[in-house]
Structure 1
Amino acid sequence: MNVLFALSALLAASTTVVAQQEIVGGVEAAVGQHLYVSGFRSTETGASTCGSSLIAPNVVLTAAHCIGRGRKFVSIGSHYKSGTNDGERIKVKRFIKHPKYNAGTTSYDFAILILEQPSKFPPVQVSFDTVAPGTPTILRGWGRTSSGGASSQLLLEVGVDSISNEKCAKLLTGYTVNEAMLCAGGKLGEDSCQGDSGGPLTVESNGSVKLVGVVS
């Protein structure tokens, strides 16, 4: 399964989206190193059912289709899908979907969440640079570890390469792939899956971490 991402341009008119819909074929992420990775959940102690990323002290980026279904808390800086063992939980006071979000085509599938108070954790840097095909990227999340399987209780990660929209359109038969989208994945057994929606796609090099997309 490939995954569709919305490039995080903070509701800018010219944002871009990447591939669509658990971290399959991944490994446990290093504890305490990816504190911007956040879980979107209905209650403070409940399980995160979508991913998200802290991009400013009181601003979180997620997928637009994750908004609703009672989700109103963000768990930031936690290694775990549920509970309060680490990190912090902050309530969302405002939900803002991209004005061009289209649920039918999943274009511009991202939104920002304004938190009631600033987080104590460092946000991730958002990149607006073009991601060339073949660029190594990393997905992180707590989604299912196989299609229809159980969700991971620990933060997982998997490396995937970006691919051209032309190749993506051939792989994602039946999905809309347009100029507002960027794809990554395409490697058998390694990808995101259900439950990873809203989570980050990053480009990392020499200690630099840049957020380039959101799992859709």
Structure 2
Amino acid sequence: MNVLFALSALFPAITTVVAQEEIVGGVETAVGQHLYVSGFRRTKTGASSCGCSLIAPNVVLTAAHCTGKGRKFVSIGSHYKSGTKDGECIKVKQIIKHPKYHAKSFTYDFAILILERPSKFPPVQVSFDTVVPGTPTVLRGWGRTSSGGASSELLLEVGVNTISNDKCVKMLPGHTVNDAMLCAGGKLGEDSCQGDSGGPLTV
């Protein structure tokens, strides 16, 4: 499995590699099968308010816009949005934002979190391959299950197809869509939502 990194911002049934929210129209993931999926938290037992992906034993990938908001811990391998029932929670030692990150347009909305110690869970492989429009992908997260609604306490997933950036521009007038982004979604009622920002888009 490869992670493409869906830092999406929820627009009408569209997920852009930008800032994102939650899983709408999804189903609960199988317990113990996606242990690289992580949550960014303010405290060890608190709720994850952004998603992340373990990409090396002590390195986590997330959205740059998720940093700088008091989040200091990463929950790895947990099926739950909060608490310590499973998985592990590791403190963040260093945050590195992409040097070209632009907060208003969400361009290069990537950040690397260096953990204080290696995780015991296996990391996911990051893909640098070109993804053609129409590629089936999967979003996972604990975000809201409807716009403005409640977040999920359990890890959810939903399948979405990638969309060409040209089509994405037409679907998102007034928003920045460039080569640093990947669009996915397009099916009404099935997408990411608030709280899914920084989480993985996998193929």
Q: TM-score, normalised by structure 2?
A: 0.92
Cross-structure match for 2:141: 141
Q: Distance in 2 between matches of 1:23 and 1:84?
A: 22
Q: Could you report, residue by residue, the CA deviation over 1:40-96 in whole angstroms, capped at 9, with x for unpaired residues?
A: 000000000000000000000000000011100000000000000000000000000
Say whether the 8 Å CA contact 2:143–2:193 is kept in structure 1.
yes
Q: What is the CA-CA distance between 1:3 and the residue it aligns to?
A: 1.9
Q: Distance in 1 between matches of 2:15 and 2:63?
A: 12
Cross-structure match for 1:81: 81
Q: How does 1:115-126 map to 2 (within 5 A)?
A: 115-126=115-126
Say whether the 8 Å CA contact 1:169–1:175 is kept in structure 2.
yes
Cross-structure match for 1:66: 66
Structure with greater proportional strand content: 1
User: Secondary structure of the equivalent of 1:123?
Assistant: coil
Cross-structure match for 1:156: 156
Q: What is the CA-CA distance between 1:20 and the residue it aligns to?
A: 5.1
Structure 1 unaligned spans of 5+? 7-18, 204-216
Cross-structure match for 1:11: none
Say whether the 8 Å CA contact 2:20–2:194 is kept in structure 1.
no
Runs of 4+ residues deviating >3 angstroms: none
Cross-structure match for 2:36: 36
Structure 2 unaligned spans of 5+? 1-11
Q: Could you report, residue by residue, the CA deviation over 1:173-205 in whole angstroms, capped at 9, with x for unpaired residues?
A: 2211112211000110000000000000000xx
Match of 1:5 among 14, 17, 31: 17
Q: Distance in 2 between matches of 1:67 and 1:185?
A: 25
CA RMSD of aligned residues (A): 1.0
Q: What is the CA-CA distance between 1:21 and the residue it aligns to?
A: 4.6
Count of residues paired in the alignment: 191
Q: Distance in 1 between matches of 2:80 and 2:30?
A: 12
Q: Distance in 2 between matches of 1:27 and 1:202?
A: 16
Q: What is the CA-CA distance between 1:5 and the residue it aligns to?
A: 1.3
Instruction: Answer with 166-175 or 72-81: which moved more.
Output: 166-175
Q: What is the CA-CA distance between 1:159 and the residue it aligns to?
A: 0.2
Cross-structure match for 1:91: 91
Say whether the 8 Å CA contact 2:142–2:152 is kept in structure 1.
yes
Q: Distance in 2 between matches of 1:25 and 1:100?
A: 33
Say whether the 8 Å CA contact 2:20–2:198 is kept in structure 1.
no
Aligned-residue sequence identity (percent) comes to 82
Cross-structure match for 1:199: 199
Q: Could you report, residue by residue, the CA deviation over 1:120-165 in whole angstroms, capped at 9, with x for unpaired residues?
A: 0000011100000000000000000000000000000000000000
User: Secondary structure of the equivalent of 1:169?
Assistant: helix
Q: Distance in 2 between matches of 1:125 and 1:148?
A: 32
Q: Distance in 2 between matches of 1:202 and 1:4?
A: 14
